[in-house]
Chain A
Amino acid sequence: MSLRIIWRKTVNVIMLSLTGLCALVTVSALFLILGCLAWKGATSLHWSFFTNLPAPVGETGGGIANAIVGTGKLLMLAALIGIPVGLLGAVYLAEFAGATSAFFVRYATDLLNGVPSIVIGIFAYTVVVIPMHHFSALAGGFALGVMMVPVILRSCEEFLRNVPRSLREGAMAVGASKWKTIATVVIPAASSGILTAILLSLARVAGETAPLVFTAFGNQFWPHGLNQPTAALPVVIYNYALSPYDDWHRQAWAAGLVLILLVVVTNLLTRLLLQRQAMARR
């Protein structure tokens, strides 16, 4: 073998192992994150952490019950906006829209998807907080809902398009109208895909902090009603992590662990759902 071939083969091996190293570094980042959160957060996860209100400043103990309920409320409000608009928008794109209108709706969806979350927060502030004159769960839910729409819409559209043509034709052939075909054949056939899209979008907005800091704002107590400022899990993590108290740092780790478990479990669940569906298809 000439020297040149040896050189080329050496470069080949070195560069290819470097790409493997890159993949390894990236993948291990996730396990590092999960490991650190489990290590630092698990010791603080007591039952009272989930059921108590935050303790007054300076006292140790207390929990994040109001933040968990608050995040639940915000997600419910977000789902009320995100699911109907996203799903029906997807039905429109996949089944009804002409080429021109589909282009515009799709373009707007992509544009909305790329808008930084903090800018969505500003939008919710100008549209909801300024007219109401105070921070509220409604404003936070609106911001999260706007963020959900593009995520749900684009993946639902794809799942609807993947429903085989023969199913539609079968329904039409036995005399069903178009919307009946969509409602009773196409959507049920795509249901597990739609479900995963909804779950993933909920998991994504559940961790959003930036659009909430000046819409839902935060609250140390149980909020009464939807037009009050509301605590949310990610905002609590943010505030506690930046606070000067060790006890709050400890709680930030624990709340972070709760949040990441929520995200990871949802993602695993959706992957299982999709795999089972793929197996059933075969």
Chain B
Amino acid sequence: MGTIATTTGPASAPSRVQVLLRRMRDGDEIAHLITMIFGASILLVTAALVYELWIHSADTRAAFGWKFLVTSTWDPINGIFGAWPYIYGTLVTTAVALVIAVPLGLGAAIFLSELAPPKVSSSLSFVIDLLAAVPSVIYGVLAIFLLEPLMRSTIQPFLKHTLGFLPLFTGPAYGFGFLTAGIVLAIMVVPFIISVSREVLMAVPQDQREASLGLGATKWETTYKVVVGYARTGILGSVFLSMARALGETMAVTMVIGNVPKVSASLFSPGYSIAAVIANEFAEASAGLHLSALIELGLVLFLLTFILNGIARVMIVATSRRGAGASR
């Protein structure tokens, strides 16, 4: 045994080198290396993005610490920065958007996956994909010229008249503000809710529906209690996904939110959002601390979307796996 090992050892070593040399000549190793470099460059860019955000926001992090997030004074001239009004505006507009978009999107997704014939469903899905492809600045143009006058003249007075006892719907109707921005955001994120929810709903095994219908449940009871119940984690995932989209949305919000750093309980009030203040002030922020504050806001936005996207992905994958596993 030992002799065989010693004789094959030196004999196999050059052959391994030969194999490698041959593969080098064929180009396989080189192709592997080149594509790997491009693959690795994506890792590098992502790491660089986080690093740059972290390094360039060091000044404000050192100067204000956590107080940056909870104080409300934003004074570039005297170098005092508190981001609470922007964070508040981002959260409020996102919440308004989800309150409108989730029922609308879920309803449409149910229609597309459960009721519509496959052909209709696929062409409607294409239309919805197109809606997702509309650039955000176009939504902004429509919102500023059409939705804003409509809000000022009709919708806001109507809400004030009927629901004015709630603090949400008080104050003068300017047209722009949290509510208008939230409505625009809702239209923008609905396609994401629909396309992800539709996929998750379609992954629910057919026998679940058949069993429920066979027990005498109506179509709606089957859909609501069985199918949606089965897919609820994935649907929640689509909600988180669209929440991440809404948080980072910039142009359309900037154009209709009013750009006033104000914390107000009324949805009619003008406000500001993280993305909007970055878009408006970044180009003229010359002083180091101002720039650093805006970049820290970018970091906050990045972390929020990072966390939400992570949760969403886990939920969607878990539901699809469950569907695929059960149907086998």
Interface residues of A (CB under 8 A from B): 8-9, 11-12, 15-16, 18-23, 25-27, 29-30, 33, 36-37, 40, 84-85, 88-89, 91-93, 95-97, 101, 104-105, 108-112, 114-123, 125-127, 135, 146, 149-150, 153, 177-180, 182, 200, 203-204, 206-210, 213-214, 217, 234, 237-238, 241-242, 249, 252-253, 256, 259-260, 263-264, 267, 271
Give Cα distance in the complex from A209 to B278, angstroms. Answer: 13
The docked-state distance in angstroms from the alpha carbon of A217 to that of B46 is: 24
Return the chain B residue nearest A22 by Cβ.
B107
Chain B interface size range: 35 or more
Given known contacts A105-B43, A209-B250, A238 and B38 CB-to-CB distance under 8 angstroms = no
Q: Is the CB of A217 within 8 A of B283?
A: yes
| 20 A-B pairs in the complex with CB atoms less than 8 angstroms apart | A15-B224, A16-B219, A16-B220, A19-B107, A19-B110, A19-B115, A23-B112, A25-B104, A30-B131, A37-B142, A92-B35, A92-B36, A108-B46, A119-B53, A178-B28, A180-B27, A209-B136, A242-B144, A252-B141, A263-B133
CA separation between A40 and B142, bound complex, in Å?
Answer: 10
Residues of B within 8 A of A88 (CB): 34-35, 38-39
The answer to whether residues A177 and B52 also contact, given A115-B305, A122-B295, A259-B138 and a CB cut-off of 8 A, is no
Could you tell me if B136 and A241 are in contact, using CB atoms closer than 8 angstroms? no
CA A29 to CA B131, docked complex, whole Å: 8
B36 contacts across to A, CB distance below 8 A: 92, 96-97, 101
Which residues of B come within 8 Å of A, CB atoms?
23, 26-28, 30-32, 34-36, 38-43, 45-49, 52-53, 56, 103-108, 110-112, 114-116, 124, 126-131, 133-142, 144-146, 187, 190-191, 194, 218-221, 223-224, 244, 247-251, 255, 275, 278-279, 282-283, 294-295, 298, 301-302, 305-306, 309, 313
How far apart sit A88 and B42, CA to CA, in the bound complex (Å)?
Answer: 11
Looking at A112, A135, A209, the one whose CB has the most chain B CB atoms below 10 A away is A209
User: Which chain A positions have C-beta within 8 A of B140?
Assistant: 238, 241
Contact for B146 among A11, A26, A36, A178, CB less than 8 A: A36
Closest CB in chain B relative to A191 CB, distance in Å: 17
| B275–A20 CB distance below 8 A | no
Whether the pair A207, B136 counts as a contact (CB closer than 8 A) is yes
Q: Can you list the 10 inter-chain pairs with the closest CB atoms, starting with the nearest? A: A116-B248, A207-B135, A22-B107, A179-B31, A177-B26, A92-B35, A114-B309, A88-B38, A210-B250, A92-B39
Q: A12-B218, A92-B36, A116-B301 are in contact. Are A33 and B28 (CB under 8 A)?
A: no
Assess the B46–A116 pair: CB atoms within 8 A: no
Indicate if the CB atoms of A271 and B107 lie closer than 8 Å: no
Count A/B pairs, Cβ under 8 Å: 266
Contact call A249/B145, Cβ cutoff below 8 A: yes
Known: A25-B104, A260-B138. A126 touches B52 (CB 8 A): yes
A150 and B288 CA atoms in complex are apart in Å by 32
Partner of B137, one of A21, A203, A207, A249: A207
Taking A27-B128, A179-B31 as given, write out 13 further A-B residue pairs in contact, using a Cβ cutoff of 8 Å, ordered by the A residue number: A22-B104, A26-B104, A30-B128, A33-B131, A85-B41, A122-B298, A127-B52, A135-B283, A179-B30, A180-B26, A213-B282, A234-B137, A237-B137
Q: Which residues does chain B contribute within 8 Å of A101, judged by CB atoms?
A: 36, 39
Q: When the two chains form their complex, are residues A115 and B302 in contact, meaning their CB atoms are under 8 A apart?
A: yes
Task: Tell me which residues across on chain B come within 8 A of A210, comparing CB atoms.
Answer: 136, 250-251, 275, 279
Contact of A149 among B42, B130, B187 (CB under 8 A): B42
B223 CB contacts on chain A under 8 angstroms = 16
Q: In the bound complex, what is the Cα–Cα distance between A190 and B281 (angstroms)?
A: 44
Query: Chain A nearest CB: distance from B121 CB in Å?
Result: 9
Contact in complex: B105, A26 (CB < 8 Å): yes
CB contacts (< 8 Å) of B35 on chain A: these are 88-89, 91-92, 95-96
Q: Which residues of A contact B31 (CB under 8 A)?
A: 96, 178-179, 182
Supposing A177-B26, A263-B133 touch, asked if A89 and B138 sit within 8 A by C-beta, the answer is no
- Least CB distance from A209 to B in Å reads 4
Contacts of B130 in A (CB 8 A): 30, 263-264, 267
CA distance A177 to B115 in the complex (A): 50
- Smallest CB separation, B191 vs chain A (Å): 7
In the complex, what residues of B have CB within 8 A of residue A105's CB? 39-40, 42-43
**C-alpha spacing A153/B283, complex, angstroms:** 31
| Given known contacts A19-B107, A23-B107, A109-B42, A30 and B138 CB-to-CB distance under 8 angstroms | no
